[in-house]
Chain A
Amino acid sequence: MLRRLAAISALMSLALAAMPARSARRPRYGGTLRAELGASVASLDPDVTAATPEEAAAKAQIDALIFDHRDSDEALVGAAGSGAFRVTTFESGKRAVLAANEEFREGRPFVDGVEIAMGRSAHERLVDLELSKTDLTEIAPQDARRAAEQGVRVSASQPDELLALVFVSANVGSKAAGSASARPTGQAARQIAAQVRGAGSEQAMGQALSLAIDRVAIVNFILQKTGEPAGGLLPQWSSGTAFLFPAAAPSAADLTHAKELWKQIAPSGPLVLGYDSADPLEQSVAERIVVNAKEAGMAVRAQAMPVAGAGAGKSRDAGLPAGHVDANLVRWRMTSSLPDVALKDFLARIYAGPLAGVEAGAFPETASPEDMYKQQRAVLNTYRVLPLVWLPQAYGLSARVRDWKVPGPGENWPLADVWLDTETQTPTPTGVQ
């Protein structure tokens, strides 16, 4: 018996002493990752322009997988197939099958291939996740919490997409100055006076609306707490100064102030707020703003608008047709996690859109937090851009997906780094990660 114990002891000692650096989390090669997209990509030809922003965003993700990389001007570098994957099958708008590039410069991806199903509705994607028919798909931020509660493994980024209300340059001035310009003046001096009055009224209209909007309620009820109220043009996690731009729920004093401002403006009709007809989140937010405005005695009407062209990049820009609306809802995704880079991009959009014609302050090459604060303050004080909420990017993952790192601003799906754990049956964390 003692001899047996000694033998076991020796074996255990040997096992402990000679224990290698072992790990079940070392990535493994093999398997096919199944992904689903809401958008349909018609063509992977770089020369073919996407029809919608969603298609452009989906195409950009696939491009990032099959081309070597993008240069500093965001142009694709290398031939198709020089990236981590190469396309083996492509059915326009329906399906793409990618195979691992054995010779990829940064090393062969862990998975053997990726199968991408396109044109799947949000409901179909969630059902497929729950039935383990897919490994990866995007989830709308307003659906993320409910999905997590239903047991879906959800991975959410830092909030990096700004949902904002921007005034359309040509309309709001005339709307706000409606009563003044309707008068028969006939004299240039009186017209100028009316324009000046209009500009002031325009600012007052934006301020009144900003005071009336309950951003906290939008986050809590529409987004189910997936997101953050936005008061500035950069999120707190990136800039560290978002707290300087309050986004609290309107107080009674705020509503009173908003009413006073609205009375002073005396607009000629309701303010028309346009939103993307294909975006349920924008619709919900627009309808909420209408309610908030009504509580402050303001007349605002939400107007669904068809989506125009692909716009710039993956974010819906001011793509809604002007002329029918006084203000639009826009979704702008940060292009970088670096606050100065992201802000510079936002400012370029703002000074080309709602603040077109307004002289922008010089943006230093290396902007300090104080520089960025002042730039934001200058924009926000015009009340032509009203930040509403910060949205994260949310993804649903199957239990076998490992080493998925949710892409940050300017990043793409890290599918070359992802591996599939088909052997270890570890409990899968649920909830929003």
Chain B
Amino acid sequence: MRPSCGLPLAIRVGVLTILLGFFSGVAPRESHAQATSQLPKSWNDAVSKLADEFSAVVSPAPVTLSVNNISALDASNAGAIETAVREQLQRHSFSFAPENSATAQSVVRLHLSLSESADEYVWVIQILSDQSDGNAVPVIIVTAPKADFAHAGAAAQSISLEKRFVWKQAELFLDFAFLKDATSAELTLLVLGTNSLTTYKPVGSRWQFSHTSAIPEATPPSRDPQGTINLKEGKISLKGFECVGEPDLAGALQCKASTAGRRLGGPAVTIPGLPNSLGTTIPERCHDEYVSLFTAENDWTQSDSIRAYLAKGVPLPVFPAGNTLEFDGPVMALHTDPEGNSTRAVVHNLKTGEYEAYIATATCGN
């Protein structure tokens, strides 16, 4: 019942040979980079709604606008929202007077608050009054979805990491992979759950459910399930089971009990300079140095990150390099491709409660 700290030898040694080969560059790229001057559509819609509702209850007049950002929005995004609100109000025939102009006493003083609730941004516009009881009217409130605007690290660094969001779902999953059809070159997304393998087909820019194949689950189920999709060998490995697909993993699955590999005795290998956390080494080297990706030393209740570590051969030590990829929850699993420079990360987003799939790519700089 008690899982050992050591992993089966077959898994440990097989890391180099059993992982996937199709990842690099085949997944549809989801753009996270946002120009600060251009808001996402959902945010623009929220700004329009804010201005529409305000203009419905207040006649056009000279106004001043002060802004208070009490959310996690960074200054550039907050500035972009303020600009958009000003533009929208001007479209509704409101004119802006300088904050300290002589006419400022006679103008309507508006206050925009950029706030956030547990799961969305909350933007509020109100008319400032001298009332101290907060009964100022009107109060217009709109919400906008939170989005990931993480930027990649500086290009000048020796190695840079980029994360690419692939998938998210409410249920826990253990691994994911892109299966490429040999003839049509069409991609299929495979998502390995604790007791099923679900396939999704691309429809436009989205993934559409195709079908689910059941996989036997260990009895009783483990609270720490682990599993891997091995496209190269066309099989799925879970604790106590191995499954193969016909003709491939997107087809019918046949599963059988697998013999547990011999477990390594003694202490795990500890390499100075590497964190005591989830980590893996990618096959490609950077300037002839080994590149390892490791998570932070947090537990599953905290946010997490992935960072690259370079080993300059012998003698060690290993040292951290490049930027850090931040995640809103623990990295639950890290799987390396057998070739290339990327890893697959399964993240439990603590803010949304959902499980997310990312591809983390390490690019060697000059």
Contact = CB atoms under 8 A, between A and B. Distances in A.
B313 A9 contact: yes
B74 to A, nearest CB: 17
Contacts, number: 167
Given A24-B277, A102-B220, A240-B115, A377 B269 contact: no
B117 A240 contact: yes
A405 B301 contact: yes
B133 interface: yes
B269 A15 contact: yes
Contacts of A405: 300-301
B223 A21 contact: no
A348 B223 CA distance: 38
B286 interface: no
Interface string B289-301: 0101001011111
Nearest to B291: A16
A22 interface: yes
B1 A102 contact: yes
Given A29-B2, A373-B141, A241 B278 contact: no
A313 B163 CA distance: 44
B73 interface: no
A86 to B, nearest CB: 14
A110 interface: yes
Interface residues of B, number: 62
A28 B135 CA distance: 54
Contacts of B12: 18, 20
B15 A20 contact: yes
A103 B301 CA distance: 25
Nearest to B131: A246
Contacts of A13: 290, 313
A404 B13 contact: no
B280 A107 contact: no
A103 B16 CA distance: 36
B335 interface: yes
A38 interface: no
Contacts of B116: 240
Contact of A15 (B224, B271, B297): B271
B276 A24 contact: yes
B268 A22 contact: yes
Contacts of B16: 17-18
B220 to A, nearest CB: 5
A73 interface: no
Contacts of A72: none
Contact of B278 (A25, A245, A417): A25
B143 interface: yes
Nearest to A337: B118
A25 B280 contact: no
B223 A370 contact: no
A108 B269 contact: no
Contacts of A244: 124, 126, 134, 139
A368 B298 contact: no
Interface in B214-240: 220-225
Nearest to B290: A16
Contacts of A403: 299-301
A18 B189 CA distance: 27
Interface string A1-39: 000010011001101111111111111111000000000
Contacts of A23: 276-279, 295
Q: Is the interface of A mostly helix, strand, loop or mixed?
A: loop
Nearest to B140: A370
A229 interface: no
Interface stretch (B3-11, B77-85, B91-99): B3-11
A416 interface: yes
A381 interface: yes
A8 B290 CA distance: 15
Interface stretch (A132-140, A231-239, A314-322): A231-239
B243 interface: no
Contact of A237 (B7, B118, B334, B335): B118
Contacts of A25: 276-278, 297-300
A404 B224 CA distance: 15
A12 B280 CA distance: 14
B280 A21 contact: yes
Contact of B223 (A108, A238, A254, A369): A108
A104 interface: yes
A248 B220 CA distance: 54
A417 B299 CA distance: 12
B77 to A, nearest CB: 16
A209 B276 CA distance: 55
Contact of B335 (A21, A239, A253): A21
Given A18-B15, A25-B300, A29-B1, A106 B7 contact: no
Interface of B: 1-3, 5, 7, 11-13, 15-16, 70-71, 113, 115-118, 120-122, 124, 126, 132-135, 139-143, 220-225, 268-269, 271, 276-281, 283, 290, 292, 295, 297-301, 311, 313-314, 316, 333-335
The 3 A-B pairs of least Cβ separation, nearest first, read A240-B122, A240-B117, A107-B223
Given A12-B316, A22-B268, A107-B221, 18 more contacts: A16-B292, A19-B15, A19-B271, A20-B12, A25-B297, A102-B220, A107-B223, A109-B223, A231-B134, A239-B117, A240-B116, A241-B117, A243-B70, A244-B124, A244-B134, A246-B132, A254-B132, A404-B301
25 contacts: A8-B314, A18-B281, A20-B15, A20-B280, A21-B15, A23-B279, A30-B2, A102-B1, A103-B220, A106-B223, A108-B1, A108-B220, A236-B70, A238-B118, A239-B117, A240-B120, A240-B122, A241-B122, A241-B141, A243-B70, A246-B133, A253-B132, A368-B141, A370-B139, A370-B140
